[in-house]
Amino acid sequence: MPPFSPALVTDLYELTMVQAYFAEGFAGEAVFSLFVRRLPPRRNYLVACGLEDVLAFLETFRFDDAALKYLDSLGRFSAPFLRFLERLRFTGDVYAVPEGTPVFANEPILEIVAPIAEAQLFETFVINQVHLQTLVASKASRIVEAAGRRQVVDFGLRRVHGVDAGLKAARAFHIAGVHATSNVAAGQAYGLRLAGTMAHSYIQAHDDEYAAFRSFARLYPDTVLLVDTYDTLDGVRKVIDLAKALGREFRVSAVRLDSGDLRDLSMQTRRLLDDAGLHSVGIFVSGNLDEEGIAGLIRAGAPIDGFGIGTEMGVSADAPTLDFVYKLVAYEGRGRIKLSPGKSVLPGRKQVYRVERDGVAAHDLLARDDERASGRPLRRKMMEKGTRVADAHASLDAARHLREIEVNRLPDRVRALPPADPPYAVEISAPLAEAAERLRQQYARPRPAPAPPR
Amino acid sequence: MPPFSPALVTDLYELTMVQAYFAEGFAGEAVFSLFVRRLPPRRNYLVACGLEDVLAFLETFRFDDAALKYLDSLGRFSAPFLRFLERLRFTGDVYAVPEGTPVFANEPILEIVAPIAEAQLFETFVINQVHLQTLVASKASRIVEAAGRRQVVDFGLRRVHGVDAGLKAARAFHIAGVHATSNVAAGQAYGLRLAGTMAHSYIQAHDDEYAAFRSFARLYPDTVLLVDTYDTLDGVRKVIDLAKALGREFRVSAVRLDSGDLRDLSMQTRRLLDDAGLHSVGIFVSGNLDEEGIAGLIRAGAPIDGFGIGTEMGVSADAPTLDFVYKLVAYEGRGRIKLSPGKSVLPGRKQVYRVERDGVAAHDLLARDDERASGRPLRRKMMEKGTRVADAHASLDAARHLREIEVNRLPDRVRALPPADPPYAVEISAPLAEAAERLRQQYARPRPAPAPPR
């Protein structure tokens, strides 16, 4: 990546607005709420993800010299304001649901309570990171559920959108229950389990497919051999030939099918392998599969032991964005709303309660933070006055475990792939609805003509 | 981002295959070709982009100590192989079409000619970067063409997939003809023009919309005011009030509409502004627009002067991936192919010729590199023995200029938004087709039973 200052990963208008707040003396406490307005048609729930990067960013935030110099060069920012930025650190509080929690439309994943300049400034980065990671964790959760007990491996690095997405997606996939990743940098950065087989180019570089298999298995005895470079079943027969030749030294763990009709080919492959007594050699498939493709293969009885999933999971191809927004919901202790058509906002800090019956989630309740409501509260304080609270250091494995437990508690129709009918309900508490209505009436009322400018 | 070694932005199997090549003494020259198998339904052409990052990566490539230490910890790599990696640098040649060039299915955007270990190792990174940047440049080119003389501004940072994508997309958008970006880090990294207006939160933080407009215009006299927080036309009337109050000091350049029926609202807004004599105040719109939305508004006569485009352009939402592959096409001077269903490969190094009549592209010809063919060759040598050739340092503005010229030379049906009928033709030369057929027969022929293992 070209050199850039992390603090400048923001939209220009955040900085111009913050300069205006500075010039106007606006330094009151603001509450910003991050939530999704609506779920994509093929998502019954989302898996919250990305909090860790937000907290790490806020903890270490500062404008470095290069950033200040660049901003100065733009000719839009005053010297006093640049000095203000130089000293700016995040001093606010953060409330959030833990990573791995299933969430629904309108539920705040994260709330920032801070002087308005700070809370405004971080909008772009906060959305960017939570959007990406929640997007791909949510897609991966469907894929993991579809695969059931079969392993899912992330092969997405080549088609995800850039290097940052590659790393963050591998991390989000781990939280969603994916078994391993092919991304070596993600293994290094997060300690994730790595996996990989071989590419067609390795086979092609050899004059003979059998020779390629033999050489690779000599170096990596328990490897997975890719059999579809020329003719899939012919490739499988060469693996069987290799087993015969190696005898008890043969330890190849699986063959990989990457093209063609995976149902038919996996069945024929299984038969060939079983007829040769190679019951312990598994079948691993890849090639533009998504959760529907996986479910279809399993329903059809395809004898598949694992799935390598790339493009579809890495970019959440059927729904490559979520409608995340980060909205001002209170300033100086008073609730704020918007009335733009289709873009209204509920005021103030909020808690999300999950109401369960017999261990299964019945509905959620979105309530004012100062209410008492029944149900299990999902949102917690993660940062206080710019410092993480003790239990905000969840491990990746803890988040993975949380997702598994929490998704298991969702109703079957919500966990399933087809659109949930009815969708999971998020109710709004009476006090919250009343607060919204009061503000709506106040702002929709025709106001008197403006006072003349000073 | 968490700490990681750039050299490890690769799939594990690249490293295991390279260790196998190393163990087998495979050090011959390989040719890998990067191309797209087919275009998405709503793309008549792609705009090649991402070469600069590939060249910069290859020029500076090395395994740092942290990378070697991590690889050693995996227990899969031998000490001699890790010493080989420690010394590994890119020593090969790179051929490519310049950034900004329109390309079509099966045309090599980039070819790497290098010892097989090097060429194999870079597969993942090369695809990752060229895929992302070509994807978003191609989408942006459609948006820029749809907007015609009206300016397009990139507002995508919050919804693109991560920080790397935000930077690279802003760069690709510049090449595609986008006017400016809101991404401050991209401005810093690439010297791009920045633009931005204000967010709803700024309006909401003030008790009164008029007071917000007045304060912002005082600090930024030629700003764009966002008018749809409560009621769009009411917001426009407040801008007119402000103009009356400020008199000749009023210099607001535009209003921004971000919700509702943009056609009706822009017409009513224009009428209100014109009736108040504010002919110089433009109308800027945003809110989930894509090229079809832009074209529809323009066709309907909406008096819009500029478009802020975020999500749809930033993730190429209608086609969030391209079918890019990086394939071995020759090893040790001999062509290599694949026969996997739907995934065949043409052998050897290739040149792309654009055949033009009266200054308009008629078709392309894909030919062997050692052929002579008529037409304009698009592919050039960019790197020789690991070092960039002199004219491989194209500026961003040169690439932007090239895209404009080259897209202007495409037939109207290919430049237009609907699917080109017939699609632009890419013909294959007789010598190239013959070479492919020879190899196909050779590999499809049943081969003798394998020799027993040594």
Q: How far apart are CA B129 and CA B304, in angstroms?
A: 34
| Sheet bearing A93-96, strands edge to edge | A334-335, A324-331, A29-36, A110-115, A93-96, A380-384, A387-388
- Which pLDDT score is estimated for A445? 59
Note if the pTM is more than 0.80. yes
Q: State what percent of residues in chain B have pLDDT above 90.
A: 88
CB-based contact, A33 to chain B, within 8 Å: no
Cα Rg of chain B, angstroms: 26
CB-based contact, B443 to chain A, within 8 Å: yes
Q: How far apart are CA A14 and CA A343, in angstroms?
A: 20
CB-based contact, A239 to chain B, within 8 Å: no
Residue B366, pLDDT > 90, answer yes
Is the Cβ–Cβ distance between B383 and B94 less than 8 Å?
yes
Interface contacts (A, B; CB < 8 Å): 355
The average pLDDT across B294-319 equals 97
Residue A259, pLDDT > 70, answer yes
- Closest CA of chain A from B375, distance in Å: 32
Reference A50, options A156, A124, A146, A133; nearest CA is: A133
Indicate the residue of B2, B167, B215 with minimum beta-carbon distance to A20. B215
The average pLDDT across B161-178 equals 98
Residue B449, pLDDT > 60, answer no
pLDDT in tens, A109-147: 999 999 999 999 999 999 999 999 999 999 999 999 999
- Which pLDDT score is estimated for B452? 53
Residue A363, pLDDT > 60, answer yes
- Which pLDDT score is estimated for A394? 81
Report the interhelical angle of A209-219 vs B12-24 (nearest 10°): 100
pLDDT in tens, B380-418: 999 999 999 987 778 999 999 999 999 999 999 999 999
Return residues 391-410 of B near A (CB < 8 Å): none
Q: How far apart are CA B367 and CA B353, in angstroms?
A: 8
Q: Do A189 and B220 touch (CB under 8 A)?
A: no
- Which pLDDT score is estimated for A333? 87
Reference B3, options A383, A187, A19; nearest CA is: A187
Residue B271, pLDDT > 60, answer yes
CATH 3.20.20.70 fits A137-314, yes or no: yes
- Closest CA of chain A from B393, distance in Å: 15
Mean pLDDT rounded to a whole number for chain A? 94
What number of other Cβ atoms are within 10 A of residue B437's Cβ? 11
Cis-peptide into B422, omega within 30 deg: yes
In Å, the largest CA–CA distance within chain B is: 94
- Closest CA of chain A from B359, distance in Å: 35
Query: Which residues on chain A are in Cβ contact (under 8 Å) with B15?
Result: 184, 196
Query: Which residues on chain B are in Cβ contact (under 8 Å) with A154?
Result: none
pLDDT category, B338, cuts 50, 70, 90? Answer: confident
- Closest CA of chain B from A279, distance in Å: 22
Give the tokens for residue B429: 């030369």
Mean pLDDT rounded to a whole number for chain B? 94
Residue A448, pLDDT > 60, answer no
Residue B211 identity: A
Q: Where are the domains of chain A?
A: 23-56+90-122+326-444, 137-314
Residue A454, pLDDT > 70, answer no
Range from A346-350, A417-421, B89-93 carrying the lowest mean pLDDT: A346-350
DSSP string, B407-442: HHTS-HHHHSSSPPSSPPPEEE-HHHHHHHHHHHHH
Q: How far apart are CA A105 and CA A35, in angstroms?
A: 7
Query: Which residues on chain A are in Cβ contact (under 8 Å) with B5?
Result: 185, 188
| Phi and psi torsions of B58, nearest 5° | -65, -40
Q: Beta strands B29-36 and A426-428: pairing type?
A: unpaired
Query: Which residues on chain B are in Cβ contact (under 8 Å) with A169?
Result: 161
Q: Do A4 and B167 touch (CB under 8 A)?
A: yes
Is the Cβ–Cβ distance between B355 and B335 less than 8 Å?
no
Report the interhelical angle of B123-147 vs B51-60 (nearest 10°): 150
Is the Cβ–Cβ distance between B452 and A243 less than 8 Å?
no
- Closest CA of chain B from A165, distance in Å: 5
Indicate the residue of B127, B246, B315 with minimum beta-carbon distance to A158. B127
Query: Which residues on chain B are in Cβ contact (under 8 Å) with A195?
Result: 12
Indicate the residue of A124, A188, A449 with minimum beta-carbon distance to B8. A188
Q: Do B452 and A74 touch (CB under 8 A)?
A: no
Range from A135-149, B47-61, B153-167, B330-344 carrying the lowest mean pLDDT: B330-344
Helix or strand holding residue B146 (H, E)? helix B123-147
Q: Beta strands A360-368 and A426-428: pairing type?
A: parallel
- The Cα-based distances of B104 to B44, B134, B409, B410, B434 in angstroms read 8, 12, 14, 12, 22
CATH tag for B23-51+92-129+327-444 (out of 3.20.20.100, 3.30.460.80, 3.30.70.520, 3.20.140.10): 3.20.140.10
Give the tokens for residue A359: 């261990």
pLDDT category, A342, cuts 50, 70, 90? Answer: low
Q: Would you identify the CATH topology of the domain A23-56+90-122+326-444?
A: nicotinate phosphoribosyltransferase (3.20.140)
Q: Beta strands A282-286 and B426-428: pairing type?
A: unpaired
Residue B254, pLDDT > 70, answer yes
Matching residue, tokens 């004012």: A368
Instruction: Please list, in sequence order, all residues whose beta carbon lies within 8 angstroms of the beta carbon of residue B380, skipping any fewer than 6 positions away.
Output: B95, B96, B97, B98, B391, B392
- Which pLDDT score is estimated for A391? 79
Range from B44-48, B353-357, B390-394 carrying the lowest mean pLDDT: B390-394
Residue B43, pLDDT > 60, answer yes
ipTM of the complex: 0.94
Query: Which residues on chain A are in Cβ contact (under 8 Å) with B168?
Result: 162
- Which pLDDT score is estimated for A443? 73
Is the Cβ–Cβ distance between B302 and B271 less than 8 Å?
no
- Which pLDDT score is estimated for B392? 78
Give the tokens for residue B317: 């939402």
Residue spans of alpha helices (H) in B30-64: 51-60
CB-based contact, B341 to chain A, within 8 Å: yes
Residue B446, pLDDT > 70, answer no
Query: Which residues on chain A are in Cβ contact (under 8 Å) with B183?
Result: 9-12
Q: A286 has which bridge partners?
A: A308
Q: Do B444 and A338 touch (CB under 8 A)?
A: no
Return residues 423-442 of A near B (CB < 8 Å): none
Reference A209, options B413, A217, B407, A333; nearest CA is: A217
Instruction: Please list, in sequence order, all residues whose beta carbon lies within 8 angstroms of the beta carbon of residue A355, skipping any fewer than 6 positions away.
Output: A361, A362, A363, A364, A365, A374, A375, A376
Is the Cβ–Cβ distance between B180 and B195 less than 8 Å?
yes
Q: Do A157 and B9 touch (CB under 8 A)?
A: yes
Most confident of A193-197, B269-273, B389-393: B269-273
Reference A289, options A448, A144, A440, A79; nearest CA is: A144
Q: How far apart are CA B361 and CA B408, in angstroms?
A: 9
Q: State what percent of residues in chain A have pLDDT above 90.
A: 88
Give the tokens for residue B181: 């970006």
